[in-house]
Amino acid sequence: MTDESTVRFQPWDEAGRVPPGTTLLEAARGLDIGIESLCGGEGLCGTCKVVVEEGVDCLTEPSKADELLFSDDQLAAGHRLSCRAAVDQPGCAVTATVPSASQQTGGVVLTEGVEREVELDPAVKHYRLELPTPSLEANVADRERLLDGLADAYDLEVTAVDWLVQQELPNRLRATATPDGLAVTATVYDGSEVIDVSPGLDEAVYGLAVDIGTTTVAAYLMDLRSGERLAVSSRLNPQSRFGGDIMTRVRHTRRQEGGREELQEAILEGVNGCIAEVTRDADVDPDDVYEAVCVGNTAMHHLFLGIEPSYVAGSPYVPGNHAALQVKARELGLEINPSGYVSWLPVSGGWVGPDKVSVLLVSGHYRGDELTVCIDIGTNGEISVGNRDGMWVTSAPAGPALEGAELTHGIRAQAGAIEAVEIDRETFAPSCETIGGEAPIGICGSGVIDLLAGLFETGVVDRRGQFRDAVRGHERLRTKDDGVLEYVLVTADDAGVDHDIVCTQNDIREIQMAKAAIQAGTLVLLEELDVETVERVVLAGGFGNYIDPESAMTIGLYPDVDEATVESLGNAAGSGAQLALLNRAHREEANAIVELVDYYEIAGTDVFRDHFMDAMYLPHREFERYPRVKARLEALRNVDDEPI
């Protein structure tokens, strides 16, 4: 006969035997089950809640803290602080469920694009406190009463209190005065500043990751206690009404009095729209959102924060700052808690902004051994090459062709857009896949790459990207009035529009120029590192999820590598912002990346121009640089006799 009792924890269904007097928190620790306990088992913080399903009568009576934190109904249903509830009797069987909010999570998994586990350590945290009731004897001021409480209960050396919080502090502290003291929850930013004080126990603490693209804005609402993503909202960047591309918008700030303010207001309006939507969808009070971690290219960063963008837009492309900037939400007018913060990741250099830094946070290749190229394809292609021993980054002016724009029948990725193309070697007839399986209405980025690769593989175009005379007269090829050929991808009969969908010689030039810019940028960096090629290719951006790796390599968009090593990160910029929001260490990492990575400004340099001319060829003037592509092509047809 023993005095011990059995305590079992759900959802793990793990049990152990404990002597009388053992608290449930201690029992869990004995089983290596992690229950949150911010205050270290002092009955203060309320983070170690469990629900006792069986054997509640074997436990000590509910403590004062339990009575304060739980309603009568909850107490009756077995809700207890695990640090206060001790097994009181011998030979009992107790079963307790640990709700997910009380579970000490090793980390959460982000599934946006690539999966990445992240330990939770957000900048914003809640601390529940019980403070002495003010009296003639205990007459220390409210601010110091609060800060002393944080030091005593949580060993936090907080020295700052936001001004707005200070104004209301006397009221907030006294809102839930009990005979035992003042019960409040303090919201602390980065362990150093109180940014909110709420009466009683307040568990709601949320944050936003915001990805500001030239074209679209996306906001992710995250629960900072669980790491869970609660809602997402995206919309067109309202700055688009001032111009679709960055240069037009920057010109607007120079030419129009108050233009910089107009652009700033537009993007803030867009982000505030996203905030209204995600908080409504998740039923969250915007005042419980305490931080927005933002990423975007350098121009978006400058325009969002109201920083003069003119000088980064022209040579020598010097940005206003490298450092990670932080501004109070109320100063910007971002509609979250006014005492909260808007935090931008740092700027690498020139056009290589916080979005690229965010991508590097996710790809992590700056700290790996493998020599890697990481390409974020957009109007500007941001390219990084290197490994832990050294890394260069640059921005290449790809233009919008790979996004489907500025081609005769190019369109953005949307229902009816041709996203994949294969061309028959004999008939040159294409087979097209469209988004949503609808009748084709145009061709988008991934289709464009497939198309050019297919035309080259089948010999419709030569290594210079010109329609070969040999294909003249073929039914898919049509001679225009000026004698130049064009390739008919879909006839009007099969299209969802009332005309043929074609690819002209000029379209092919546009695609070549786009890929050549990225390829040349990559080659400049490879040369700077004094290496010939890389071991691994990482693609970022929504685009990367859809392009066919073989097609992309065939036209030379990235170096010749084993296809198995090509990885797509999806929207890595948004994922990186989430990482930085959920764990402060990733912000330090982002700062370290900016220190570590060398920015190479290629614009206007001779070395870029030279590489660009060579990169106009398919896949490159020096075919030997693409041995895998060359071997495959040679198996299909004779490529050596083509003019270069």
Residues in touch with its own copies (CB under 8 A): 134-136, 138-145, 161, 163, 166-171, 174, 305-308, 310-312, 315-323, 325, 327, 331, 347, 349-350, 599, 601, 604-605
Residue 231's DSSP bridge partners are: 221
Whole-number minimum distance, CB 177 to its own copies, in Å? 11
3-state secondary structure 121-182: ECCEEEEEEEECCCCCCCCCCHHHHHHHHHHHHHCCCCCEECHHHHHHHHHHHHCCEECCEE
Do residues 373 and 537 lie in contact, with contact meaning Cβ atoms separated by under 8 Å?
yes
Q: Which is nearer to its own copies, 116 or 145 (CB)?
A: 145
DSSP 536-585: EEEEESGGGGTS-HHHHHHHTSS----GGGEEE-SSHHHHHHHHHHHBTH
Whole-number minimum distance, CB 600 to its own copies, in Å? 10
Q: What is the rounded CA–CA span in Å between residue 39 and residue 28? A: 16
Whole-number minimum distance, CB 91 to its own copies, in Å? 52
Whole-number minimum distance, CB 261 to its own copies, in Å? 10
Q: Which is nearer to its own copies, 170 or 436 (CB)?
A: 170
Do residues 317 and 350 lie in contact, with contact meaning Cβ atoms separated by under 8 Å?
yes
Q: Which is nearer to its own copies, 163 or 627 (CB)?
A: 163
Q: What is the rounded CA–CA span in Å between residue 618 and residue 571? A: 28
Q: Which is nearer to its own copies, 101 or 603 (CB)?
A: 603
Whole-number minimum distance, CB 593 to its own copies, in Å? 15
Whole-number minimum distance, CB 156 to its own copies, in Å? 16
Do residues 585 and 555 lie in contact, with contact meaning Cβ atoms separated by under 8 Å?
no
Q: Which is nearer to its own copies, 47 or 348 (CB)?
A: 348
Q: Which is nearer to its own copies, 563 or 595 (CB)?
A: 595
Q: Which is nearer to its own copies, 219 or 332 (CB)?
A: 332
Whole-number minimum distance, CB 521 to its own copies, in Å? 15
Q: Which is nearer to its own copies, 316 or 436 (CB)?
A: 316
Q: What is the rounded CA–CA span in Å between residue 537 and residue 539? A: 7
Q: What is the rounded CA–CA span in Å between residue 63 and residue 80? A: 9
Do residues 121 and 241 lie in contact, with contact meaning Cβ atoms separated by under 8 Å?
no
Exposure string of 242-262, with b = 16+ CB inside 10 Å and e = fewer, is beebbeebbbbbeeeeebbeb
Contacts of 296 (CB under 8 A, 6+ apart): 211, 212, 213, 304, 353, 354, 355, 573
Whole-number minimum distance, CB 599 to its own copies, in Å? 7
Do residues 534 and 371 lie in contact, with contact meaning Cβ atoms separated by under 8 Å?
yes
Whole-number minimum distance, CB 596 to its own copies, in Å? 15
Q: At what angle do helices 354-363 and 572-582 cross, to 10 degrees?
A: 80
Q: Which is nearer to its own copies, 238 or 320 (CB)?
A: 320
